[in-house]
Amino acid sequence: MSATELWVWLPRDAEGRLAPAAEELLYEAQALARRLDAWLVAAGDRMPEPGERDRLGRWGVRRVRALGMALLPHPLCPDGHSPLRPLLAAALAEGVTVRAVLLAADTLGRMAAPLLAAELDAACMTGATSISCDGRHFVVARPTLGEQYEALTTLPLERPLVVTLQPGAVGEGLEPPSRPGTVGEGPSLAEPPAGLEARELPALRPPDPDTVDLADAERIVAFGRGAFSQEAVALVERLAKVLGATVAGSRPAADEGWLPFARQVGLTGAIVQPRLYVAVGISGAPYHMVGIKDPETLVAINSDPEAPIFAHAHLGIVGDLQAVLPALLERLRRGEGLPVPQGRTVPGGHP
Of the listed ranges 59-63, 82-86, 182-186, the least confidently predicted one is: 182-186
193 part of a folded domain: no
Max mean pLDDT among 61-75, 79-93, 273-287 falls in 273-287
Handedness of CA 332, 336, 339, 345 (dihedral sign): positive
Model-level pTM greater than 0.85?
Answer: no
CATH number at residue 123: 3.40.50.620
Residue type, 297: T
Considering only residues 340 and 187, tell me which one the structure prediction assigns the higher pLDDT: 340
Within this chain, do residues 134 and 218 fall inside the same structural domain, yes or no? no
Chosen domain end from 165, 198, 233: 165
Q: Is the pLDDT assigned to residue 254 strictly greater than 60?
A: yes
Of the listed ranges 125-129, 138-142, 170-174, the least confidently predicted one is: 170-174
- 266-280 burial, b at 16+ Cβ within 10 Å, e below that, comes to bbebbbbbbbbbbbb
Q: Is the pLDDT assigned to residue 263 strictly greater than 50?
A: yes
Within this chain, do residues 115 and 249 fall inside the same structural domain, yes or no? no
310 part of a folded domain: yes
- The three-state secondary structure class of 27 is helix
10 Å CB burial of residue 145 (0-12, 13-18, 19+) is: exposed
Within this chain, do residues 45 and 131 fall inside the same structural domain, yes or no? yes
Domains held by the chain: number? 2
**Domain around 324:** 214-333
pLDDT tens digits along 191-226:
555 444 444 444 445 677 888 888 888 999 999 999
Give the pLDDT score at 202.
46
Give the pLDDT score at 203.
46
Within this chain, do residues 10 and 125 fall inside the same structural domain, yes or no? yes
Within this chain, do residues 322 and 237 fall inside the same structural domain, yes or no? yes
202 part of a folded domain: no
CATH number at residue 232: 3.40.50.1220
Chosen domain end from 141, 165, 189: 165
Within this chain, do residues 18 and 153 fall inside the same structural domain, yes or no? yes
